[in-house]
A and B are shown apart, each in its own frame.
Chain A
Amino acid sequence: MSFRQGKGKHNFMTTDFRKLPPEPLEPVSFEIPKPFQTTLENGLRLIVIEHERLPLVSFRLAFNSGDVNDPDGWDGLSGAMTSMLSEGTAEYSSLQLAEKTERLGAGISASSSYDFTIVSASSLSLYSSDILRLMAEVVLRPTFPESELDLYRRNTVEHLKFQRSQPGFLAGEQAARLIYGDHPYSKVSPRADDIDRLTRESLVEFHARSIIPNNALFIVVGDVKRDEIVSEIKGLFGDWQPGTAPAPVARATPKRSERSLTIVDRPGSAQSNIVLTNLGVDRSDPDYFPLIVMNQVLGAGASSRVFMNLREEKGYTYGAYTRVDFKRLAGDVEATAEVRSAVTGESLKEFFYELDRIRNEDVAADELADAKNFLTGVFPIRAETQEGLTNLIVNQYLYGLPENYLQTYRDNVDAVTIDDVRRVANKHFRPDEMAIVIVGDAEEVLPQASEYAGTVEVFDTEGNIQDVAKYANAADASTADVAGKWALSIDFQGQQLPVSLTLEQNGESVTGVLETMLGDGKIADGTVSGNKLSATANAEMQGQPIEFAIVGKIDGNAMSGTLTAPIVPEPLPFSGTRS
């Protein structure tokens, strides 16, 4: 056995070896393979890594332009042009392209993001030449057939409707609008009228302008011979004419001076989808390494602070995270969680607590070391697959990072100090100007969350602004009159059980008695807020004290709501009238 028996470490001869985590074995060094680089005469940069481990090859052609390069008034143009690349070319129809590619067991895909446009292909290395020829066909000679564009338009419009049923999409849409204003990063998705406006001519013209070799990078990773693949790529892509790429439409982001609350009303939502966000920095910012280390401590993973607090300690959510997003022109920071509706306010409190803590207190030395160990340790795991290795290399080149970026990554992470963490937390996470976005049941969310922000706005899921008063009525408008005797019926597993509730009201305070078949409970400290009643009845059953929580909504002489007791697993719905 090659164990080192260090100080205070276990000894396998004793039974105590389980007490402490074992010492690691000798570390094994890992080097990212050095890529071969060349540039074709038309400006196409070529990067090849010979990777013979398995008979596979991955190609990636990445353009330094994306959705932000959409011309003014043409949102969705990059996305449409990219999606349509494989829907018909000079030589093949859409169906023929799909058949030819899939018959090789291979795949070609194309997509655009805010900053980049990427065409990827992968196959068994034995089909390397075939897939490369298809890739050239798709990139250089797409025809954007009218019938396929028509289908794309109609499917995309339906897809845009579908997105509106996803709470995550709705939250992201509002967050981007609040942080980026008129900047193109504010558009998480084009709108239906943007898609309807697209024409075949606009795609042809935009393809000619933006799909150019001198704005692109061609990366090959796989079981190929470098010289052969370079000469094949030269043969297929060498005559491709260079041009001038369309410039991104960069606009200033709005200046935020106070905390705001934006609710997207999704009536009946079982959960609140929470996003807290403020403007961050772009990918070239010198705070990149301190920020990723800080974020690892704060909320990047399952051992980070917000996850430990909101999920592991409080059980409010399945997951709570923070994220730092660096894009080419700007960036943002976020804290997110999907929590059950009733703890929306409590979750905001814990998020702000954690933000204040990392801003005001030094991170512990071991917590910092753990975060760094994670970031450096997972690095080789990311390089296990050809796709993973390609991703690392693509990002380095597209963002214009130094040549030795991957080789010095570890040192840059290790260099981050305790002071750096506190400094970048203060500089880039700014709770006082954060936008709070919550997708959930507005009536339930508003009273819980309004105290955390200076301004409040409510939208429906279509993005139409709503009258806040409509929801606030429930909370702060005229206090409902609840006094009197209520005959209510509780739905207990399909059975209707009668109960009676007798209430006395003094302003917003309520006292009274809950009478049930099982016994009576006394209400000492109930409250009415708007048209919502909230009270606890203390009863005794078989000598045991038991607490019933009542939440009701008053509508004139009618009341409906839920009754919760520790003896029943789920809140019991009730409804009834005042006699």
Chain B
Amino acid sequence: MTDTFRLPPLEIEEYKLANGLRVVLNPDNAIPVVSIAVYYNVGSRNERDGRTGFAHLFEHMMFQGSENVPKAGHFQHIMKAGGTMNGTTSSERTNYYETLPASQLPLALWLESDRMKSLAVTQENLDNQREAVKEEKRLRYDNQPYGQIFDLINEMIYKNFANSHSTIGSMEHLDEATVEDVQDFFRIYYAPNNAVITLSGAFESANAKSLIETYFGDIPSQPLPPDLDVTEPPEVAMTYKEWEDKLAPFPAFLIGWKIPQRRTPEFHALYLAGKVLYDGESSRLYQKLVKGQEAVIQLFGFTDERRGPSSIFIGAIPKPEEDLSKIRETIMQEILDLATHGPTAEEMEKIENQLLNDSVRLRQSSMSRAQQLAEFALYDGDPTLINTELDELLAVTAEQIRMAAAHYLNTENRALLDVVPAGKG
């Protein structure tokens, strides 16, 4: 049925400014809005020990003003133009993005270029944002039940410090950050030749190019950042840990495996193995554990996609009286079955349709397109992969999924984090 289905390709133009800034344009006039995404090739993986949380703290600093934009002026300018914006930090990159009415493209370029060219790094801004980041850490991690388990399991999976430490970082390291650190970080990582800018939505290409040259063309390039080693031995760093969580109402566990990097055939196969195991109500583990055995309150799983060694997780919050080891046996039993027999024909049909559906759906909004294009440009040097990645995934066979599950999941080489409620009740 889907043989006739063809994903309409996106119109993509790609070039580089003289200073090394990579530009990707995706004109699409369906709705009069435009999205701009600026991706810097720096994430928590670039942090050294003693300075964890720095990439993310820096993301906050980027909203604190630059030569011609006052402190917090970025929010104000975008919002009063009727736009939305944000920035996020992951292990891989730091991104900044905005969606605006199409007529406001110059405003976005002015704002993004001003902070790339002349960020205001002051003690006052640093102190203030350090406090905001600490509140964010308290809110999202320390004060939430199960809030720290993903940071903990990454420390168990990865041996290389670049991979294992958390993006939010430690309070102590945040306190030690000095203005000089922030200035160095800006110079090294926030250079045009270490970034990608993507435009998607309603604009005229020739006009956009000329605006980009005007605003970004005179920002000087910098020597490339130091080389980064994210290599890992195949073994996980630690196979078991018990974690006392003061806020957790129930016991829970999280299993993590170390797997090959994104866009390898193995990663693709494991991503699809994950769909078979835990994605949706018809998935094997949902049917076994939430339905069949009625043993868990919540089941979840996902892949963490990185440019280096990556990971896949399966976790559950079982019902209070349940035997956790029995639930884990069921999970490993299903993995063994997948590793032995592979996915069924029905599961392969489901995978195919879900992949088609996901890729069409992700093309709806200009921001979603701009972000995907920026990732492919930054990580792979080729934004047109947005038009072909679907075919790569559709080409994965049931046998490849079976083999990947057998090699990477059906193994003792995995990390198990047990969460023990430690509150007063």
Contacts and interface: CB of A to CB of B under 8 A. Distances in A.
A124 B357 contact: yes
A385 B249 contact: no
B228 interface: no
A103 B353 contact: yes
A124 B80 contact: no
B82 A27 contact: no
B82 A25 contact: no
Interface stretch (B16-24, B50-58, B95-103, B335-343): B95-103
A54 B105 contact: no
A164 B117 CA distance: 48
Interface residues on A, range: 35 or more
Given A99-B346, A381-B33, A301 B249 contact: no
B128 interface: yes
A102 B350 CA distance: 6
A338 B136 CA distance: 9
Q: What's the interface size class on B, roughly?
A: 35 or more
B266 interface: no
B287 interface: yes
Contacts of B101: 24, 27-28, 377, 380
Given A124-B5, A167-B143, A303-B79, A24 B106 contact: yes
A158 B294 CA distance: 12
Contact of B110 (A18, A53, A164): A18
Contacts of A19: 68
Interface string A103-115: 1111000000000
Contacts of B8: 54
B82 A24 contact: no
A311 B132 contact: yes
B31 interface: yes
A123 B361 CA distance: 9
Given A54-B360, A151-B291, A339 B135 contact: yes
A270 B72 contact: no
Given A102-B280, A381-B84, A28 B5 contact: no
Interface in A275-324: 301-303, 308, 311-313, 315-318
A384 B31 contact: yes
Most chain B CB neighbours (cut-off 10 Å) among A28, A154, A166, A381: A381
Contact of B75 (A30, A101, A302): A302
Interface stretch (A38-46, A368-376, A483-491): A368-376
Contact of B281 (A28, A102, A155): A102
A353 interface: no
B150 interface: no
Contacts of B395: none
A106 B353 contact: yes
Contact of A370 (B80, B171, B365): B80
A103 B350 contact: yes
B325 interface: no
A98 interface: yes
A503 interface: no
A338 B135 contact: yes
A545 interface: no
Contact of B365 (A317, A340, A384): A384
A318 B132 contact: yes
Interface in B258-298: 280-282, 287, 290-291, 294, 297
Contacts of A24: 81, 101, 103-104, 106-107
A137 B221 CA distance: 61
B88 interface: no
Interface string A46-71: 00000001111000000000000000
Nearest to B114: A18
Contacts of B100: 377
A126 interface: yes
Interface string B163-179: 00000000110111000
A378 B320 contact: no
Given A102-B354, A161-B249, A270-B143, A126 B1 contact: yes
Contacts of B138: 270-271, 338, 340
A340 B135 contact: yes
A385 B31 CA distance: 10
Contacts of B79: 301-303, 370, 373-374
Contacts of B110: 18, 21-22
A368 to B, nearest CB: 11
Contact of A102 (B83, B99, B172, B282): B282
B356 A124 contact: yes
B180 interface: no
B5 A126 contact: yes
Given A373-B82, A570-B171, A165 B32 contact: no
Contacts of A143: none
A400 interface: no
Q: Which of B31, B77, B111 has the most CB of A within 10 A?
A: B31
A54 B364 contact: yes
A338 B72 contact: no
A570 B137 CA distance: 14
Contact of B297 (A104, A159, A569): A159
Contacts of A123: 357
Contacts of A340: 134-135, 138
Contacts of A102: 280-282, 350, 354
B314 to A, nearest CB: 18
B12 interface: no
A312 to B, nearest CB: 5
B333 interface: no
A380 B31 contact: yes
A30 B287 CA distance: 46
B394 to A, nearest CB: 12
Interface in B119-134: 127-132, 134
B80 A374 contact: yes
B75 A23 contact: no
Contact of A374 (B82, B113, B249): B82
B68 to A, nearest CB: 5
B248 interface: yes
Contacts of A570: 171-172, 175
B240 to A, nearest CB: 24
Contacts of A151: 291, 294
A97 B155 CA distance: 40
24 contacts: A25-B104, A25-B207, A95-B291, A98-B280, A98-B281, A103-B282, A126-B5, A151-B294, A161-B249, A270-B142, A271-B138, A271-B143, A303-B76, A303-B79, A303-B80, A311-B135, A312-B72, A316-B135, A377-B101, A377-B104, A378-B84, A380-B101, A384-B365, A569-B174
Interface of A: 1-3, 12, 17-30, 53-56, 94-95, 98-99, 101-106, 123-124, 126-127, 151, 154-155, 158-159, 161-162, 164-167, 267-271, 301-303, 308, 311-313, 315-318, 338-340, 369-371, 373-381, 383-386, 569-570
CB-CB nearest 9 A-B residue pairs: A377-B82, A105-B353, A315-B131, A370-B80, A569-B175, A105-B357, A28-B32, A22-B106, A98-B281
